[in-house]
Structure 1
């Protein structure tokens, strides 16, 4: 019996790309699909495009909802999904016609809970392959460790999830970056992850829509990263206490970096300082190289350097 695969696709403001995206989804070599389109009150022609495709293919289910953001749309898709396996596709991207087949075969052949493929990034006529992907099977613990040095671990659209790993896991709404923390939770519930170096997903780089950046957007991104950084630290060390030193090192390194990024944004400076105070003892007395502790110590007092008339000199950690 062919397992049902649910493909969850939030839709908003992508009328120029949605048709191509759906074409690649409908042309999959693996055909037992449940394609869930969540129209997040898109202001363009996307709602009509969704309905037109649903009329032509019974595998497509369309939800028209009040605008709630991508996380809210994906959560509605998860609530509706009935497949044994779940994939997430961005509605302005495209996939190879064997995307589902390859990911599902990888899960079944390796008896894994999550499969991960490599991908291509493209902008107009320029294409770049992702790097760092190797054919390898990971335990949940080893993949959680890989998160520390590989940002692609947090992506959701180059992965297939056994639905069991997503029980009780949902995207946190109201945040700019919700996919990474979602993936963290799924990995922690999994036992095994399989990765293979075959680019099956095409990620479109855009300079419009939700990809727009600005001071306010970047500030919210940093605020989200601060929140998720501490959440993931507490979650990981609860399940894998022996990873505490590595994750504390990572947390400290990020706090030093975020101190600089938050300069001039009062609310963020306050947030960073609060987290530094919260983790002060664990960092200063933890198994972290002295050089990093020293950088953290000096960054802690950046805010008061003018009042204390202290000459900070150079921080060689950033050279």
Structure 2
């Protein structure tokens, strides 16, 4: 059995499409665990009216505690040998579960990656080309945990596997034996750390280079909003990587340096969002305050030479020249006009 964990919050517009995409899978030996994180819309009504008679579906309502708490509750309830996570505003292709499971059973892989489509957005990057390239290099469609971690913590878009948990098949036993859980004290990168912790406990990583999952970017996406805890959350995950990944894989130090530089870039973009409470002068002051917290100069110089995306290159060149204020002005102006 595969346990499908669906955390949901105010997803009344999307939940039916999501659940039906799992019910209509070519592989049917599944249980569907819907964890409602305190929805205040019609999510509960839709689920109970449409699926109350379906023995494969379990609906659990909890007080609003965040997506990590919802996923952890789903983990505690899961009975399947394998499990996947599906976000409630997304949906899967009919062969999603079957293709992931086939790879795990055929090659005895502990975690399996598949590709995904990005729906309703042209601005989000996809890693399908990387997945295809990695799979083509190995006839058994598998890589080592070291290779996977190398790609997961890379910030080079041509050399990355993005850390989204909904594109993976996990073995429940590995999660429980190693007590792997989503952190509830952070709101950003919790799935990224979950995957890294799982990979540290895996032996073989499977690849299915097909877009089997549909990732929907909607108007409520948190990635388009100002998030007060973003910098501290990402900094905390960087610190976790230094403590847990470097002892096993010291060669990945340069990747972690790039992640730290990326944290600064993300933090600056965050305080410049159209929903940010800060005025321009305060944004500039905050930028330099964040930069002074740790050794960004060597980090930024290193990252300028490694990064391929032109926009990011420009940002890091400005940071290296101490022209952070100019980037704050540029990104704030961009946000002001694109959000109109």
TM-score normalized by structure 2?
A: 0.74
Residue 145 of structure 1 aligns with which residue?
150
Which of 182, 189, 203 pairs up with 1:171?
182
Change (3 A) 1:212 1:44: farther
**Structure 2, unpaired ranges of 5+:** 136-140, 272-281, 307-314, 326-340
Q: Distance in 2 between matches of 1:253 and 1:259?
A: 10
Paired residues of 1:117 and 1:199 also in contact (CA < 8 A)? yes
Question: Bigger CA drift: 34-43 or 169-178?
Answer: 169-178
Aligned residues: CA RMSD: 3.5
SS at match of 1:239: coil
Residue 156 of structure 1 aligns with which residue?
165
**2:205 is equivalent to residue 197 of structure 1:** no
Residue 247 of structure 1 aligns with which residue?
255
Q: Distance in 2 between matches of 1:253 and 1:151?
A: 16
Once the 2 structures are TM-superposed, how far is the Cα of residue 234 of structure 1 from its aligned partner?
2.3
**2:77 is equivalent to residue 68 of structure 1:** no
Paired residues of 1:18 and 1:91 also in contact (CA < 8 A)? yes
Q: Distance in 1 between matches of 2:284 and 2:207?
A: 39
| Count of residue correspondences | 288
Q: Distance in 2 between matches of 1:100 and 1:255?
A: 33
User: Residues 87-121 of structure 1, C-alpha deviation per residue, up to 9 Å, x if partnerless?
Assistant: 00001111111111110001111110001111111
Q: Distance in 2 between matches of 1:231 and 1:171?
A: 13
Residue 274 of structure 1 aligns with which residue?
293
Which of 11, 17, 21 pairs up with 2:18?
21
Larger radius of gyration: 1
Q: Distance in 2 between matches of 1:37 and 1:291?
A: 45
Q: Distance in 2 between matches of 1:178 and 1:256?
A: 18
Change (3 A) 1:23 1:257: closer
Once the 2 structures are TM-superposed, how far is the Cα of residue 269 of structure 1 from its aligned partner?
5.0
Once the 2 structures are TM-superposed, how far is the Cα of residue 238 of structure 1 from its aligned partner?
1.8
**Structure 1, unpaired ranges of 5+:** 306-319
Residue 314 of structure 1 aligns with which residue?
none
Change (3 A) 1:200 1:290: closer
**2:231 is equivalent to residue 226 of structure 1:** no
Once the 2 structures are TM-superposed, how far is the Cα of residue 189 of structure 1 from its aligned partner?
1.0
User: Residues 171-194 of structure 1, C-alpha deviation per residue, up to 9 Å, x if partnerless?
Assistant: 111413321111111111111111
Q: Distance in 2 between matches of 1:66 and 1:252?
A: 34
Once the 2 structures are TM-superposed, how far is the Cα of residue 151 of structure 1 from its aligned partner?
5.0
Q: Distance in 1 between matches of 2:161 and 2:244?
A: 20
